[in-house]
Amino acid sequence: MSSTTPPAPAASPAPAGAHSAAPAGTPLLEVSGLTKHFPVMGGFPIRRRIGAVQAVDGLDFSVAAGESLGLVGESGCGKSTTGRLITRLLEPTGGRITYRGQDITHASRRQLAPVRSEIQMIFQDPYASLNPRQTVGRIVSGPMEINGIGPPGGRERRVRELLETVGLNPEHYNRFPHEFSGGQRQRIGVARALALEPKLIVADEPVSALDVSIQAQVVNLLQEVQRNLGIAFVFIAHDLAVVRHFSQRVAVMYLGRIVEVADRDQLYGNPRHPYTRALLSAVPEVAADDAAPPRERIRLAGDVPSPLNPPSGCRFRTRCWKATERCGSESPPLVRAEGSGEGHLSACHYPEDVAALTESKGSRGTKGVTGSVDLEISKEP
Amino acid sequence: MFRFLVRRILGAVVILLIISAITFLLFYVAPRDPARLACGKTCTPQTLALVRRNLGIADPLPVQYWHWLQALFTGRDYASFGRCPAPCLGYSFHYHEPVLGLILNRFPTTLSLALGSAVVFVLFGVGAGMLAAVKQGRTVDKVASSASLIGSSLQIYIVGLVAMYYLVDQWHILSRPQDIPLTQDPMGWFKGLLLPWFILALIFTANYTRMTRSQLVEALSEDYVRTARAKGLSRRAVFFRFAWRGAMGPLLTIFGLDLGGLFGGAIITEATFGLHGIGALSVDAVNNNDLPMLLGVTLVAAGAIVVLNIVVDALYAFIDPRVRLA
Amino acid sequence: MSDPMSSTPGGPFLSVRDLRVHFSTEDGIVKAVDGLSFDLGHGRTLGIVGESGSGKSVTNMALLGLHDSRNTTIDGEALLDGQDLLTAPQRELERLRGNKMSMIFQDALASLSPYHTVGRQIGETYRKHTGASRKEARDRAVEMLAKVGIPQPELRVDDYPHQFSGGMRQRVMIAMALVCDPALLIADEPTTALDVTVQAQIMDLLKDLQQETGTSIIFITHDLGVIADIADDVLVMYGGRCVERGTKQEVLRAPQHPYTWGLLGSMPSLDHPVDVPLSPIPGAPPSLLNPPTGCRFHPRCAFIEQVGDGLCADAQPPLEVMDGRGAACHLGPAQRVEFFADFAGIQPN
């Protein structure tokens, strides 16, 4: 890490833009109109570009220093692509990515080098993302070597510290990945990501490949890391409960677009986008007690349409029970709907009612939604 | 499917053009005088001058190539030597004949040898591989596996001669290798090629035993094979309808890649058994400084491989709907 | 909810006793399942929960006889309608599989043959067990596709699996498994690979079909939320053994085994207070090659002090079952209630 920045403060979870070197009020990471289209080849008789998979299509969001932003959505919604775009593992097709005031959208390798050490990534598969022929010591010190960083006391000491931070035995410095269990491997991945004292970690489904009991260990570890080291997170996951647990702010994606973004309580307690609401209602839950009123059940029909040929207008309209002609012709902007709280943005022409959902947690969905073929609402027996 | 084939054929034409251009270039930019190389062993100064004029050596290389390409469609006159009718692949100044006719005369022998031995090694190799896969870890598997290892380390020209000595000369089990056209005497054709087929197939059989076994073992561990068992189908039905179907695609791909090697092996086999295929023709061409003939043989062999590869691709698409419908 | 035993006059429809599945590997014997017993009543759904390596999938592969017989030894008894599956000859199992008992798997794309149309794959099962003609089998396939909610079944019947979406493929799997109206359906993590909205659809479908056909279901999953949605009875597996069983209400509301508590504490829920960290189980699941002595959970258990005397490491706690309810733990009944209350932060009432 460069000598101009003080060691990361042991900050409270409160987003702390003040610690950033950028002028106050500037978010750590700002993304506007971010787009990634993958070309599709085909045609006859000579193959050529015939279309594009619109994996990510015009995203706007920002991440404050020390904050955790959750990205949730079903497969094909573009959440992983987004993670790869902001770490610049993929080249954006359009839009702008600004990191601490610096435009890195199309930055060259050389320009990116200092930024790369501050933005780290944690991957889903703890088996595939560690080189099996390297010792844990080499894996964790790798980023320091590549960036030519010699911490005081030497790299080995730093690695041992890191291993201890992530809850591994520092004595395991010379072991190989295959000697560890899945959860421990993910801890090695976390240690590697922490090696350069990053300001932002992009975690792409970091716990979904792990067993339930191990998941919780890693979630807790990441939470400690985020709180104690003040590192900002972009937390990509499909599990809504895990995201809610980990992220202060959550963005829901559908077919390459953000349909709703809000702080955690707003999003889970008062979803304004029908998709968010449907998604929440589909999560199977062990209810806390039998006395709790039954949860609302919204069943979306069908699957997510192909991103190769997404629906016009609002992309959710083909599965939405509220869709009208307007939804097909006019793409709803991501705005603060009437009645929404500060920073609560949703992209829907007909946002969900506020009142019905905010009374109390237990009474979610007591008001039915009417008039739809695709929707069936029923109560659990 | 139709689109797929058309696209593959267009691709093949492009590949053949590139091969011809490269071969042309290689032969003509060689440090030695191409006319001298083309003229043949019995080359008088007069013929050399004629050859030089007829080949258009004075022209720049692209123009020469263009003329050569044109000749494919329009034919070409070689003045006092004679006319080379379309499709003209070149004119042999050694034989005083267009090369294509000579090659096509010899080609059936090579093709018979290559494809015949392919039938042999597919039957035996795949059969042994299947057996080994079914009896995984048992004696049959171990014998098949070690036999295939020995087989693949054998050399055609040694085994060929040894086999000929014992099987033909000493024990009179097989008849002496010779090339009788299939159209003339099918039985003679079969008998004459039987030994070369087996010898050429030997190295391939070993490979196919190993590959069939590993492909089948992999296919047998596929989830859809487990599903088929869970449906109550018998082991036999599961093996042939599901596992074998899954192993077939990769084997076919490997077969396509092996075609080049097969033709190469056929040429060695011809030399070993004194058969008159295009192998012998190209050896003669080298000895006689017959450059146009070499060029023609290279192209015909390349063409055969490309065409067979299209057939293989079409078969693959037939086997695997994911390719067909993609 | 009525007792599963009493509703079926002839006793449980599937009864597994002391099932042991051991694999011999180069490194030694893997005791994947080590003494498992359970019952399943007609029309009931038994949820088997466990983490990877708990033996939950192995159990069901063994029941269907789908294990690799070359390196697997199976002991015990598994009576399906009085017929022992573990000693039945292969031919008899082939007659039962896909007919009286069938199975759906997690990864529908990999589990369906890429080389055959879905109609052929569904019809194949039907023809094998009913001797129907091609035409009849095809009609039946169309009927089944319609039943599992695939639009335009008469067109889709000639499509290949890769032409379907993930959720639709799982529906095809279900159609294939149910084509002969099996009495027992084993569903091995059928929704794990699916998105939540699609998972909800598939679970609704399974519930509806069960209502209609009365099929008994064994539903294997690692997700207690899914269990809460679909199961009548629950069996919690750890390290190849059953640690706790009972009805869904019993196991989820008043769990008696520290492992079950740990699972519940590990799962974030939509109601979990966000500032309270999750309470994970320390350590990692045991190696089945060299499992811990005594209670297999003891190296990760927080309550061995309370049991005392090193009992947990020395003796395997018996699973004493009363009316289908039981837990294999050395803690006494009162302790279980007390410690769970502590654990969950609720007052025992």
Distance in angstroms (rounded) separating the CA atoms of residues B209 and A274:
59
Kindly give the pairing relationship between strand A102-103 and strand A257-263: unpaired
Does residue A2 lie in a domain region? no
Return residues 54-93 of A near C (CB < 8 Å).
Answer: 74-75
Residue for token digits 């350069």?
A196
Chain C residue numbers with beta carbons less than 8 Å from the beta carbon of B230 are: 64, 66, 97-98, 102-103
Task: List CB contacts (< 8 A) between B10 and chain A.
Answer: 45-46
Cα A85–chain centre separation = 12
Nearest chain A residue to B11, by CA: A46
Same domain, A298 and A243: no
Tell whether A175 is covered by a domain: yes
**B7 to chain A: which residues are within 8 Å by CB?**
44-47
Structural domain contains residue A337: yes
Is there a contact between C195 and A212 if contact means CB atoms under 8 Å apart? no
CA distance A46 to chain B (A): 7
Total-model pTM: 0.84
Please name the residues in contact with A204: beta carbons below 8 A apart, sequence gap of 6 or more. Answer: A80, A83, A84, A121, A122, A123, A124, A236
Is residue A102 classed as helix, strand or coil in its secondary structure?
A: strand
DSSP C108-142: HHHHS-TTS-HHHHHHHHHHHHH---HHHHHHHHH
Q: Does some domain include residue A257?
A: no
Domains and CATH numbers, chain B: 2-99 (no CATH), 103-324 (1.10.3720.10)
DSSP letters spanning A200-222: EEEEESTTTTS-HHHHHHHHHHH
- Give B10→chain A minimum CA distance, Å: 8
Quick check: is A4 in a domain?
no
- Give dist(CA C139, CA A125) in Å, integer: 43
Please tell me whether residues A238 and A277 are part of one structural domain: no
Cβ–Cβ contact A291 with C under 8 A: no
Close Cβ partners of B104 (under 8 Å, ≥ 6 residues apart)? B300
Q: Is A48 on the interface with B (CB under 8 A)?
A: no
**Interface residues on C facing B, Cβ-Cβ cutoff 8 A:** 64, 66, 70, 90, 93-99, 102-103, 105, 107, 110-116, 124-125, 128-129, 160, 162-163, 173, 176
Q: How far is CA A350 from CA A279, A310, A328, A353, in A?
A: 17, 20, 13, 9
Rg (CA), chain A: 22
Q: Could you identify the residue written with the tokens 């084997």?
A: B251
The helix/strand/coil state of A40 is: strand
Taking contacts as CB-CB distances below 8 angstroms, the residues of chain A near C195 are: 74-75, 238, 304
Question: Residue B84, SS3?
Answer: strand
DSSP string, C281-304: PSS-PPPSSSPPSSSTTGGG-S-H
Residues C149-190 have pLDDT tens digits of: 999 999 999 999 999 988 899 999 999 999 999 999 999 999
What percent of chain C is modeled with pLDDT above 90?
A: 69
pLDDT > 90: percent of chain A:
54
Same domain, A239 and A273: no
d(CA A257, CA A253): 5
Per-residue pLDDT of chain B (326 residues; tens, 9 = 90+): 677 788 888 888 898 889 888 887 877 666 667 677 777 777 788 878 877 777 777 778 888 888 888 888 888 887 767 788 878 888 888 888 888 889 988 888 888 999 999 999 999 999 989 988 888 777 877 787 787 777 777 777 788 888 888 888 888 888 888 888 888 888 888 888 889 999 888 888 888 888 999 999 999 999 999 999 999 999 999 999 999 999 998 999 889 888 888 888 888 888 888 888 888 888 888 888 788 888 888 888 888 888 888 888 888 888 888 887 66
CB A321 within 8 A of CB A309: no
Query: For position A45, what pLDDT does the model report?
Result: 67
Output DSSP code: residue A317.
G
Q: Are residues A184 and A239 located together in one domain of the fold?
A: yes
Domain match, A165 and A214 both: yes
| Contacting B residues, span 3-62, partner chain A, CB-CB under 8 Å | 3, 6-7, 10
Same domain, A237 and A316: no
Render pLDDT for A303-360 as a digit per residue (tens, 0 to 9).
888 888 899 999 999 999 999 999 999 999 999 998 888 899 999 999 988 755 443 3
- Residue A45, chain B, CB below 8 Å: the answer is yes
Judge whether A341 lies within some domain. Answer: yes
DSSP string of C226-276, one letter each residue: HHHHH-SEEEEEETTEEEEEEEHHHHHHS--SHHHHHHHHHS--TTS-TTS
Count of structural domains, chain A: 2
Candidates B272, B267, B107, B266; CA nearest to B176 is B272
Give me chain C's average pLDDT, please: 90
Q: Which of C101, C105, C111, C181 to mutate to test the interface with B (most CBs of B within 10 A)?
A: C111
Query: Residue C36: what are its φ and ψ, rounded to 5°?
Result: -115, 135
Mean pLDDT value across residues A201-207: 94
A217 near C CB under 8 A: yes
A206 with A66, same domain? yes
A147 and A276 fall within a common domain? no
Measured between CA atoms, how close is C75 to chain A, in angstroms?
Answer: 28
* Structural domain that includes position A110: 17-41+50-252
